[in-house]
Amino acid sequence: MPAASDRYTATAVTLHWVLALGLLGMLALGLYMTGLPMSPSRLKLYNWHKWAGIVILALSALRLWWRLTHRPPALPPQVLRHMPAWQRVAHHGTHLALYLLFFAVPLMGWAYSSAAGFPVVLFGVLPLPDFVPTDRALAETLKPWHGALAYTLAALIVLHVLGALKHQLIDRDGLLSRMWFGR
Protein backbone atom coordinates (compact mmCIF):
# COMPACT_ATOMS: atom_id res chain seq x y z
CA MET A 1 0.00 0.00 0.00
CA PRO A 2 1.35 3.45 -0.85
CA ALA A 3 1.93 6.00 1.87
CA ALA A 4 -0.65 8.79 2.26
CA SER A 5 1.76 11.22 0.57
CA ASP A 6 1.85 8.93 -2.49
CA ARG A 7 -1.95 8.99 -2.89
CA TYR A 8 -4.16 11.37 -4.82
CA THR A 9 -6.59 13.55 -2.86
CA ALA A 10 -10.17 12.37 -2.36
CA THR A 11 -11.32 15.14 -4.71
CA ALA A 12 -8.89 14.03 -7.43
CA VAL A 13 -9.99 10.40 -7.02
CA THR A 14 -13.67 11.33 -7.18
CA LEU A 15 -13.17 13.51 -10.27
CA HIS A 16 -11.15 10.73 -11.93
CA TRP A 17 -13.83 8.06 -11.45
CA VAL A 18 -16.83 10.30 -12.20
CA LEU A 19 -15.15 11.45 -15.41
CA ALA A 20 -14.15 7.85 -16.25
CA LEU A 21 -17.73 6.61 -15.88
CA GLY A 22 -19.07 9.59 -17.83
CA LEU A 23 -16.63 9.05 -20.68
CA LEU A 24 -17.37 5.33 -20.91
CA GLY A 25 -21.09 6.08 -20.95
CA MET A 26 -20.63 8.72 -23.64
CA LEU A 27 -18.57 6.44 -25.84
CA ALA A 28 -21.17 3.67 -25.52
CA LEU A 29 -24.03 6.08 -26.19
CA GLY A 30 -22.22 7.57 -29.18
CA LEU A 31 -21.67 4.13 -30.72
CA TYR A 32 -25.26 3.08 -30.05
CA MET A 33 -27.07 6.20 -31.26
CA THR A 34 -25.18 6.56 -34.53
CA GLY A 35 -26.41 3.11 -35.59
CA LEU A 36 -30.08 3.92 -35.07
CA PRO A 37 -32.45 4.89 -37.88
CA MET A 38 -33.76 8.46 -37.80
CA SER A 39 -36.51 8.62 -35.19
CA PRO A 40 -37.63 10.69 -32.20
CA SER A 41 -35.70 8.27 -29.96
CA ARG A 42 -32.50 8.88 -31.90
CA LEU A 43 -32.97 12.65 -31.68
CA LYS A 44 -33.56 12.37 -27.92
CA LEU A 45 -30.34 10.34 -27.53
CA TYR A 46 -28.40 12.94 -29.54
CA ASN A 47 -29.65 15.63 -27.18
CA TRP A 48 -28.66 13.55 -24.13
CA HIS A 49 -25.26 12.99 -25.75
CA LYS A 50 -24.79 16.74 -26.20
CA TRP A 51 -25.88 17.46 -22.62
CA ALA A 52 -23.51 14.84 -21.25
CA GLY A 53 -20.73 16.24 -23.45
CA ILE A 54 -21.17 19.69 -21.91
CA VAL A 55 -21.20 18.19 -18.40
CA ILE A 56 -18.02 16.25 -19.22
CA LEU A 57 -16.45 19.44 -20.55
CA ALA A 58 -17.27 21.21 -17.26
CA LEU A 59 -15.98 18.26 -15.20
CA SER A 60 -12.81 18.26 -17.29
CA ALA A 61 -12.29 21.96 -16.58
CA LEU A 62 -12.84 21.33 -12.87
CA ARG A 63 -10.45 18.37 -12.95
CA LEU A 64 -7.77 20.38 -14.77
CA TRP A 65 -8.17 23.27 -12.32
CA TRP A 66 -7.83 20.83 -9.40
CA ARG A 67 -4.73 19.25 -10.93
CA LEU A 68 -3.11 22.63 -11.57
CA THR A 69 -3.82 23.83 -8.03
CA HIS A 70 -3.06 20.53 -6.23
CA ARG A 71 0.17 18.94 -7.35
CA PRO A 72 -0.32 15.22 -7.97
CA PRO A 73 1.87 12.83 -5.99
CA ALA A 74 5.12 11.77 -7.61
CA LEU A 75 5.50 8.19 -8.69
CA PRO A 76 6.79 6.19 -5.70
CA PRO A 77 10.54 5.48 -5.73
CA GLN A 78 9.96 1.70 -5.85
CA VAL A 79 7.88 2.16 -9.01
CA LEU A 80 10.40 4.50 -10.63
CA ARG A 81 13.27 2.06 -9.94
CA HIS A 82 11.56 -0.67 -11.96
CA MET A 83 9.93 1.47 -14.67
CA PRO A 84 11.91 1.75 -17.91
CA ALA A 85 12.33 5.24 -19.35
CA TRP A 86 9.97 4.49 -22.26
CA GLN A 87 7.21 3.61 -19.76
CA ARG A 88 7.70 6.91 -17.92
CA VAL A 89 7.41 8.75 -21.26
CA ALA A 90 4.30 6.70 -22.14
CA HIS A 91 2.84 7.39 -18.66
CA HIS A 92 3.21 11.16 -18.97
CA GLY A 93 2.36 11.29 -22.68
CA THR A 94 -0.83 9.28 -22.24
CA HIS A 95 -1.99 11.50 -19.37
CA LEU A 96 -1.28 14.65 -21.37
CA ALA A 97 -3.11 13.29 -24.43
CA LEU A 98 -6.08 12.24 -22.26
CA TYR A 99 -6.38 15.75 -20.81
CA LEU A 100 -6.21 17.30 -24.29
CA LEU A 101 -8.91 14.95 -25.56
CA PHE A 102 -11.13 15.60 -22.53
CA PHE A 103 -11.52 19.07 -24.04
CA ALA A 104 -11.07 18.45 -27.76
CA VAL A 105 -13.79 15.80 -28.13
CA PRO A 106 -16.69 17.74 -26.56
CA LEU A 107 -15.57 21.05 -28.11
CA MET A 108 -15.42 19.42 -31.54
CA GLY A 109 -18.87 17.93 -30.97
CA TRP A 110 -20.25 21.31 -29.91
CA ALA A 111 -18.66 22.95 -32.96
CA TYR A 112 -20.11 20.26 -35.24
CA SER A 113 -23.58 20.63 -33.73
CA SER A 114 -23.43 24.41 -34.09
CA ALA A 115 -22.17 24.25 -37.66
CA ALA A 116 -24.94 21.77 -38.54
CA GLY A 117 -27.54 24.23 -37.21
CA PHE A 118 -28.52 22.16 -34.17
CA PRO A 119 -27.86 24.32 -31.10
CA VAL A 120 -27.05 22.77 -27.74
CA VAL A 121 -29.83 23.38 -25.23
CA LEU A 122 -28.47 22.07 -21.95
CA PHE A 123 -31.02 19.80 -20.25
CA GLY A 124 -33.59 21.15 -22.70
CA VAL A 125 -33.82 24.50 -20.87
CA LEU A 126 -30.53 26.41 -21.13
CA PRO A 127 -29.56 27.36 -24.68
CA LEU A 128 -25.80 27.58 -25.09
CA PRO A 129 -24.25 29.94 -27.61
CA ASP A 130 -23.27 28.46 -30.93
CA PHE A 131 -19.61 27.57 -30.91
CA VAL A 132 -19.26 28.36 -34.62
CA PRO A 133 -21.70 29.85 -37.16
CA THR A 134 -24.06 27.58 -39.08
CA ASP A 135 -22.18 26.29 -42.11
CA ARG A 136 -23.06 22.91 -43.67
CA ALA A 137 -19.64 22.53 -45.34
CA LEU A 138 -17.91 23.19 -42.02
CA ALA A 139 -20.24 20.70 -40.32
CA GLU A 140 -19.26 18.02 -42.83
CA THR A 141 -15.60 18.76 -42.13
CA LEU A 142 -16.02 18.68 -38.34
CA LYS A 143 -18.19 15.56 -38.09
CA PRO A 144 -15.44 13.01 -38.86
CA TRP A 145 -13.02 14.89 -36.58
CA HIS A 146 -15.38 14.50 -33.63
CA GLY A 147 -15.59 10.76 -34.31
CA ALA A 148 -11.86 10.34 -34.87
CA LEU A 149 -11.02 12.20 -31.66
CA ALA A 150 -13.58 10.13 -29.74
CA TYR A 151 -12.05 6.88 -31.06
CA THR A 152 -8.59 8.18 -30.16
CA LEU A 153 -9.84 8.95 -26.65
CA ALA A 154 -11.31 5.45 -26.41
CA ALA A 155 -7.98 3.91 -27.48
CA LEU A 156 -6.09 5.97 -24.89
CA ILE A 157 -8.57 4.96 -22.20
CA VAL A 158 -7.92 1.29 -23.08
CA LEU A 159 -4.15 1.94 -22.94
CA HIS A 160 -4.55 3.71 -19.57
CA VAL A 161 -6.61 0.83 -18.13
CA LEU A 162 -4.16 -1.77 -19.44
CA GLY A 163 -1.28 0.14 -17.85
CA ALA A 164 -3.10 0.29 -14.52
CA LEU A 165 -3.91 -3.43 -14.69
CA LYS A 166 -0.27 -4.23 -15.52
CA HIS A 167 0.84 -2.38 -12.40
CA GLN A 168 -1.83 -4.09 -10.30
CA LEU A 169 -1.65 -7.66 -11.58
CA ILE A 170 1.89 -8.08 -12.93
CA ASP A 171 4.12 -5.56 -11.15
CA ARG A 172 2.03 -5.66 -7.93
CA ASP A 173 3.45 -2.28 -6.97
CA GLY A 174 0.30 -0.73 -5.47
CA LEU A 175 0.16 2.03 -8.07
CA LEU A 176 -3.56 1.52 -8.71
CA SER A 177 -4.41 2.06 -5.03
CA ARG A 178 -3.18 5.67 -5.33
CA MET A 179 -6.30 6.44 -7.39
CA TRP A 180 -8.78 4.38 -5.39
CA PHE A 181 -11.08 5.27 -2.50
CA GLY A 182 -10.13 4.53 1.09
CA ARG A 183 -6.77 3.80 2.62
What local confidence, expressed as pLDDT, does residue 78 receive?
Answer: 85
What local confidence, expressed as pLDDT, does residue 174 receive?
Answer: 85
Phi, psi angles (nearest 5°) of residue 109? -65, -40
CA–CA separation, 161 vs 23, rounded Å?
Answer: 13
6: DSSP letter: G
Parse the chain into domains and list their residue ranges. Answer: 4-179
Question: 4-179 maps to which CATH number?
Answer: 1.20.950.20
CB 80 within 8 A of CB 174: no
Contacts of 173 (CB under 8 A, 6+ apart): 76, 78, 79, 82, 167
CA–CA separation, 54 vs 42, rounded Å?
Answer: 19
Kindly report, residue by residue over 71-110, the tens digit of the pLDDT: 999 988 888 888 999 999 999 999 999 999 999 999 999 9
